[in-house]
């Protein structure tokens, strides 16, 4: 058996795979390079950087399994893999706490203007008056998506004494209420929330779910946090709304196109941006690497 690791994963995951198969680690491959070698492997391991399109799956004549060391699989053509009988696995819970904590960190940074104040002070300017913040206590937090990460965000936000409302068409109202979350339709949630955090996969039903129309109904004081997937929010509409003062700010960890070096969200000081760091903790990386490695071995061993 031969396994190709296309993106960086924790060494613990690679060591686990090496007990059962020959493992090659080849990072930052161009699409044409991957197409040239994919036919030699029984399994692929990716994170979010490498795309596995139908063309690569077609060339992968030996492929039995594709593993994503993380929660989403939107960088893998799952339909093409399924058609070929190739199993697609992922590690949906390994980075749950890391993503939840990063979302809360972004919310706090937004509320208190931490990155902007830090940058100003480092430039040699002592400026307190420009960075009046807002407390989280008694504010309404809208959680869009109450799966693994969204649920953990909701649990932790209760410690800030926030009112928490949530939208998720796939969970029951009883589950939400047991979590301390008041279920609301999306159109109502965006109207009443002071902070809105997104925790959904990217698919045909969620792509562009927040655009100019939805933003127009929000409070001028609202702040948006997206540590889930780029593409959930119309980036141009969000940037324009913050620049024009229609909403107070945003914090974004994920982008429609990554690496995001030319993006409208990078042009506004009131939008906090990080380079897809939601799962970037040492603990999460070990967890997702081992989770996906175990699943790949299970498939290869039948």
Which residues, 6+ apart, have CB-to-CB distance to 73 below 8 Å?
Answer: 88, 90
Expressed in angstroms, the distance from the first to the final Cα of the chain is 13
- Tell me if residue 101 is catalytic: no
E strands in the chain:
2-5, 22-25, 43-46, 65-68, 87-90, 140-144, 163-167, 182-183, 195-198, 223-226, 249-252, 271-273
Catalytic one among 207, 258, 270, 294? Answer: 258
- Tell me if residue 258 is catalytic: yes
With 0-12 CB in 10 A as exposed, 13-18 as middle and 19+ as buried, what is 281? middle
Angle at 208 between CA 203 and CA 210, to 5 degrees: 125
Whether residue 16 contacts residue 290, with contact meaning beta carbons closer than 8 Å, is answered with yes
- Tell me if residue 223 is catalytic: no
Catalytic one among 229, 235, 244, 270? Answer: 229
The strand pair at 249-252 and 271-273 is best described as parallel
Which residues, 6+ apart, have CB-to-CB distance to 123 below 8 Å?
Answer: none
Instruction: List active site positions.
Output: 229, 258, 276
């Amino acid at each position: 058996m031969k396994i190709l690791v296309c993106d960086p994963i924790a060494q613990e995951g690679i060591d686990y795979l090496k007990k059962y198969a020959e493992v090659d680690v080849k990072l930052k491959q161009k699409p044409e390079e991957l197409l040239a070698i994919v036919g030699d492997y029984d399994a692929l391991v990716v994170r979010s950087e490498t795309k596995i399109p139908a063309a690569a799956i077609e060339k992968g004549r030996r492929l039995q399994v594709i593993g994503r060391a993380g929660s989403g699989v939107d960088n893998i053509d799952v339909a093409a893999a399924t058609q070929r009988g190739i199993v697609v696995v992922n590690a949906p819970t390994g980075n749950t706490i890391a993503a939840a904590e990063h979302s809360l960190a972004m919310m706090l940074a937004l509320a208190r203007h931490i990155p902007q104040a830090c940058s100003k002070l480092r430039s040699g300017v002592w400026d307190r008056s420009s960075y009046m913040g807002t407390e989280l206590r008694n504010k309404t937090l809208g959680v869009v998506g109450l799966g693994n990460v969204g649920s953990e965000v909701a649990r932790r936000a209760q410690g800030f004494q926030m009112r928490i409302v949530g939208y998720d068409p796939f969970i029951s109202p009883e589950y939400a209420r047991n979590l301390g979350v008041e279920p609301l339709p999306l159109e109502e949630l965006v109207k009443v929330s002071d902070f809105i955090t997104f925790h959904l996969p990217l698919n045909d039903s969620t792509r562009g779910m927040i655009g100019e129309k939805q933003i127009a109904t929000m409070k001028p004081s609202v702040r948006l946090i997206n540590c889930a997937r780029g593409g959930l929010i119309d980036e141009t509409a969000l940037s324009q709304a913050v620049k024009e003062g229609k909403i107070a700010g945003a914090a974004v960890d994920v982008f429609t196109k990554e690496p995001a070096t030319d993006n409208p969200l990078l042009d506004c000081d009131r939008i906090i941006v990080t380079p897809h760091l939601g799962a970037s903790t040492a603990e999460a990386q070990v967890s997702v690497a081992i989770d996906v490695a175990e699943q790949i071995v299970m498939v290869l061993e039948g």
